[in-house]
């Protein structure tokens, strides 16, 4: 039995990055031998075990053969006869196909490229050249690898993609391999790529190879769609959305906010050509499209719901500087901010990303965000129970009680913003 460290741990160590998780491959062992040594089997589809003390993953060396469509269309062979080189050959990129001896330390610390490495496919060479290159032609057997390359491009933004790898990805799209992607795997890779420092590059890669038109056609059609130059000096809607997404990364936004930034203008791709570059009603069109995307890709509910609020209300939030307290309160209610104040904070962050994700506005202030947050805080501070009791004592019922609470909240918002009191609705 021989044990090797493999994959991302070796790659990141060689790049001088922090190693989060270590994965291991075991050559020359059987499942029975692993169990006898105390390893706990966890893999349903592949022979994977957890170390009894460290709980790190140890996988038996294996080969894979394409036997059908989709993620699970593979026949897996795990055998003591499978060599380390055969196991490394099934990996996606050369930079992920480097193995290290289990006791590898090297003179320079845990990770030292001078000794203890097994690198049959030139991964160290490509790390030094900063190139993402597929290992073998077997890359074409799994379309998820296209998404993985795009995700790695977002993480390692200064790495280029080998021309032969880009050509292979294009052929995979053209032959229909990406038509059979499993939605859950698509979302998994997109979500991980969105959280990288340069998420826009993931979509640049997917566009370049043609996969974005298959995976997210609603997003893909935004490129080439013009907007009014007075509001969007960058003109192109696709360029704008990528600028918004990059602003979200710059502001360290969470995943749901980044997804909302990606989805907020989908409706502009469905604007009738005869009204361009204006996009009247794109907010509702965006809402419908992003909900359909969410269902298709099994996007988490919290991501879809946040994106929906941002799509419907981002224009109103941008224009909120001219609204009085009563109108602000109505905007807060449409966003369900009183019930979900934490989500509304994310809505405001996404809207700031949208406002600053424009050519020349990258460092502009966005006063709407603190003003609306202040308004919400004031409305939430109103204790409604005594107001309701007092209204009931005056003989008020149902809608009248609600109106009294509404008036109190509007007055509180007005005071917080230093504005004149809101006249009662009956006056």
* CB neighbour burial string for 328-355, b if at least 16 within 10 angstroms, e if fewer: bbebbeebebeebbebbbbbbbbbbbbb
pLDDT for residue 422 is more than 90: no
Do 50 and 100 share a domain, yes or no?
yes
Greater confidence (111 vs 294) lies with 294
Residue 81 pLDDT grade (very low, low, confident, very high; cuts 50, 70, 90): confident
> 77, 99, 128 — which closes off a domain?
128
Give the pLDDT of residue 28.
Answer: 87
270 falls within a domain: yes
pLDDT of residue 178: 95
Number of domains into which the chain is organized: 3
pLDDT of residue 63: 80
Could you give the dihedral angle defined by the CA atoms of residues 82, 84, 90 and 96, in that order, rounded to the nearest 10 degrees?
160
Cβ-based burial of 272 (10 A; exposed 0-12, middle 13-18, buried ≥19)? exposed
On whether both 295 and 399 belong to a single domain, the answer is no
For the residues 232-260, what does the mean pLDDT come to? 97
Question: For 26-64, what is each residue's pLDDT tens digit?
Answer: 998 888 888 999 999 887 667 888 999 888 889 898 887
pLDDT of residue 112 exceeding 60, the answer is no
User: The CATH number of the domain where 53 resides is what?
Assistant: 3.30.460.10
pLDDT tens per residue, range 358-387 = 999 999 999 999 999 999 999 999 998 888
Instruction: Kindly state whether residue 162 falls inside one of the protein's structural domains.
Output: no
Task: Give the range of the structural domain holding residue 10, as residue numbers without chain letter.
Answer: 2-128
Does residue 46 belong to any structural domain of this protein?
A: yes
């Amino acid at each position: 039995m021989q044990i090797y460290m493999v994959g991302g741990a070796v790659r990141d160590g060689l790049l001088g990055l922090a190693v989060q998780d270590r994965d291991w491959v075991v050559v020359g062992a059987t499942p029975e031998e692993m169990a006898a040594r105390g390893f706990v089997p966890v893999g349903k589809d592949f022979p994977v075990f957890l170390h009894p003390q460290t709980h790190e993953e140890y996988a038996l060396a294996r080969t894979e053969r394409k036997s059908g469509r989709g993620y699970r269309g593979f026949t897996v062979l795990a055998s003591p006869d499978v060599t380390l080189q055969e196991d490394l050959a099934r990996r996606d990129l050369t930079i992920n196909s480097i193995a290290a001896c289990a006791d590898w330390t090297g003179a320079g610390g845990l990770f030292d490229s001078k000794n203890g490495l097994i690198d049959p496919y030139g991964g160290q060479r490509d790390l030094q050249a900063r190139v993402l290159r597929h290992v073998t032609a077997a890359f074409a057997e799994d379309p998820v690898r296209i998404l993985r390359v795009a995700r790695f491009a977002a993480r390692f933004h200064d790495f280029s993609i080998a021309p032969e790898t880009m050509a292979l990805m294009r052929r995979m799209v053209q032959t229909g391999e990406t038509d059979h992607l499993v939605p859950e795997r698509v979302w998994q890779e997109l979500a991980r790529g969105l959280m990288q420092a340069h998420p826009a590059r993931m979509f640049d890669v997917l566009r370049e190879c043609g996969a974005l038109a298959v995976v997210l056609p609603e997003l893909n059609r935004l490129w080439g769609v013009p907007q009014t130059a007075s509001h969007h000096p960058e003109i192109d809607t696709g360029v704008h959305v990528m600028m918004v997404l990059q602003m979200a990364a710059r502001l360290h936004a969470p995943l749901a906010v980044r997804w909302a930034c990606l989805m907020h203008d989908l409706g502009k791709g469905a604007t009738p050509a005869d009204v361009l570059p204006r996009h009247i009603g794109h907010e509702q069109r965006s809402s419908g499209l992003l909900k359909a995307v969410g269902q298709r890709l099994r996007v988490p509910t919290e991501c879809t719901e946040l994106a929906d609020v941002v799509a419907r209300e981002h224009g109103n939030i941008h224009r909120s500087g001219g609204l009085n307290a009563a109108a602000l309160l109505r905007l807060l209610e449409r966003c369900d901010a009183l019930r979900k104040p934490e989500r509304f904070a994310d809505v405001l962050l996404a809207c700031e990303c949208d406002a600053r994700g424009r050519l020349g506005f990258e460092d502009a202030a966005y006063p709407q965000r603190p003003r609306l947050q202040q308004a919400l805080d004031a409305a939430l501070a109103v204790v409604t129970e005594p107001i309701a009791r007092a209204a009931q004592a005056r003989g008020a019922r149902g809608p009248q009680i609600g109106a009294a609470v509404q008036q109190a909240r509007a007055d509180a918002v007005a005071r917080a913003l230093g504005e004149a009191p809101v006249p009662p609705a009956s006056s």
